[in-house]
Amino acid sequence: MSGDGPLSGLIVADFSRIVAGPYCTMLLGDLGAEVIKVESPAGDDTRTFKPPVRDDESTYYLAVNRNKRSVALDLADQGDLVLARRLAHRADVFVHNFKPGTTERYDLGYEQVAAVNPGVVYCAISGFGTRGGAALPGYDLLIQAASGMMAMTGEADGPPLRTGISAIDVMTGLHAAVAVLAALNHRTATGHGQLLEIDLLSSALSSMINQSSAWVAGGVVPQRMGNEHPSLFPYGPLPTADRELIVVAGNDRQYRTLCDVLERPDLAADPRFASVRLRNDHRDELRPELEAVLATRGADEWAELLTRAGLPCGPINDVRRGVEMATRLGLEPVVDVEGVPMVRNPVTYSLTPPRYRHRPPALDNAGESIRAWLASEASAKEPIGA
């Protein structure tokens, strides 16, 4: 069952569910790791997140579970628990997002697993960490609220808003994947596995980059600004004769290019707008000047003129148009995985490209073969049956 790729031959025991853990393990599976998705008899929660669906399967579930084989194990059943422990003892990587303290009750905690499998890279994902927040449940929406992300998302005079995706779950999954790869490299050099702990709140604070730094380093609490950038202007949507157009002038050179295309050299020469800092300070004076010129043509015409001049700009697409744009640009955003269209792994490798070996599995689709492998005295590296 092992596949080609830089992680080929590694066994990942994926005891996670929802998004953060499954996204991490899917990325590892894309690179050739053998990912065994352990589910309760009820299955991963996202199997029930409907609509939308494809052939009655949740597209939410499909999005983060390719390149895995599923086995349903009931940890309340002693026989299944024995198999779960055997998997942990054979795995190179163990990923879970149980509430802190849960795995220890099943002898699946890090110390318990590492006592038998000292080389294991054990990645524990939680909502608020293992200390004061250990008892708190972690969901993306809750962390968006707790971290401050919602408070700075939305229009200035509107309510706080969540992002359109489970952004913190995805970023946590990325952080987890990076950590696993670093720990595997360390194991190659030293022979030692280790415990990795990542919580959604810490991941959120790290991922908010300039906004969290605004408070930590500058003592400034970011506020909602809609589509405005706190440090740059123009940098966002501006109205044209027919619809809004994203216009990016992130430095002085780009601003001068914008003024040239708009045929407003006076705005480039105006001392109020001479630098990034000054344009930011005087955005309320600069905005109507730009909008007055942009109102004379439609968004498509301006986009052509600005793009030709080398200025970043573009329409506000829906997801369909975003995929279509990536396709037009030759990025090949969609791959077919055993009949299921999926968004491809975003990284292009010159020597070790991602492999799309398995469609997201049906619940317990490999249960029989995985159970037989775990029940046997086979070597941990012996291939699991088809």
Mind telling me the catalytic residues? 229
Radius of gyration of the chain (CA): 25
DSSP class of residue 251? S
Crossing angle of helices 367-375 and 78-90, in 10° steps, is: 80
How are beta strands 244-248 and 235-239 bridged, if at all?
antiparallel
Encoding tokens for residue 187? 């194991």
Cα–Cα distance measured from residue 72 to residue 17, given in angstroms and rounded to the nearest whole number: 13
β-sheet bridge partners, residue 244: 239
**DSSP labels, 325-381:** HHHHTT---EEEETTEEEEPPS---SSS------PSPPTTTTHHHHHHHHHS---TT
Residue among 375, 380, 361 at smallest CA distance from 70: 361
Phi, psi of 313 (to 5 degrees): -160, 165
Q: Residue 156 CA to chain centroid, in angstroms?
A: 27
Encoding tokens for residue 197? 């702990």
Is the N-terminal amide bond of 360 cis, ω within 30° of 0?
no
Phi, psi of 199 (to 5 degrees): -120, 150
Measure Cα distances from 261 to 27, 117, 249, 258, 305 in Å. Answer: 43, 64, 12, 5, 7
Amino acid at 263: E
Encoding tokens for residue 17? 């569910």
b/e map 5-24, b = 16+ CB within 10 Å: bebeebbbbbbbbbbbbbbb
Q: Residue 232 CA to chain centroid, in angstroms?
A: 26
Residue written as token pair 């002898």: 107
